[in-house]
Amino acid sequence: MTSRRPRLGVMGGTFDPIHHGHLVAASEAAARFELDEVVFVPTGRPTFKQHQRVSPAEHRYLMTVIATASNPRFTVSRVDVDRPGLTYTVDTLRELREARPGTDLYFITGADAIEQILTWKDADELWKMAHFVAVSRPGHRLSAEGLPPGVVSMLEVPALAISSTDCRRRAEAGQPVWYLVPDGVVQHIAKYGLYRGQHDE
């Protein structure tokens, strides 16, 4: 009997903070593509958010660990947090591939991120390193327009109109983020006073 190659989902994000939209996207992709594991990879310094305030990587990493702890198939990687300089997905995938030879990678992104993917560093390299899964996201059209055929699969997931930007604004305004983010993340935000007195965007 030939056993199939292990399948690793890769969920990249700033996760400032991680919310249920991220977790549902990862869970749905795992079910659809029979992924053995999904590794969440918080960015170091995000390329597209250079002019924006971003919480320290260690807080974003910890919130991601807290949010994923209860799922035996979810893990968190420090590869991007520990790599100096700006975060590029091509470097993330290269590192994960080297660490897991013989594993098929599935990079999971939302509809908004896939729209921009052609502008990412070494875009034509990306397709060789992983299969891409683009999940639906409220307010964004899910489309593979302009992308090479067969490199991206589209996946409709339950619509959660949650964004980290909105969670930050709520935390700053003293409004609840309960049920938008996992309970432990609500508590982490309160414990360290994240997003207080912050006027982003």
**Residues of the shown chain interacting with ligand ATP in the complex, contacts defined by CB under 6 A:** 13-16, 21-22, 25, 109-110, 112-113, 135, 137, 160, 162-165
CB of residue 181 to ligand ATP, shortest distance in Å: 10
State which amino acid sits at residue 164.
S
Residue 112, Ramachandran bin (φ over 0: left; ψ between -120 and 50: alpha; else beta)? alpha
Of 3 and 144, which CB lies nearer to ligand ATP in the complex structure? 144
The burial of 170, by beta-carbon neighbours within 10 Å (0-12 exposed, 13-18 middle, 19 or more buried), is given as middle
Give the N- to C-terminal CA distance of the chain in Å, as an integer. Answer: 55
Of 96 and 135, which CB lies nearer to ligand ATP in the complex structure? 135
Of 135 and 194, which CB lies nearer to ligand ATP in the complex structure? 135
Q: Say how many C-beta atoms besides its own lie within 10 A of residue 38's C-beta.
A: 25
CB of residue 106 to ligand ATP, shortest distance in Å: 13
CB of residue 67 to ligand ATP, shortest distance in Å: 12
Cα–Cα distances (Å) from 27 to 9, 39, 98, 144, in that order, read 10, 11, 25, 22
CB of residue 80 to ligand ATP, shortest distance in Å: 12
Residue nearest ligand ATP (C-beta atom): 110
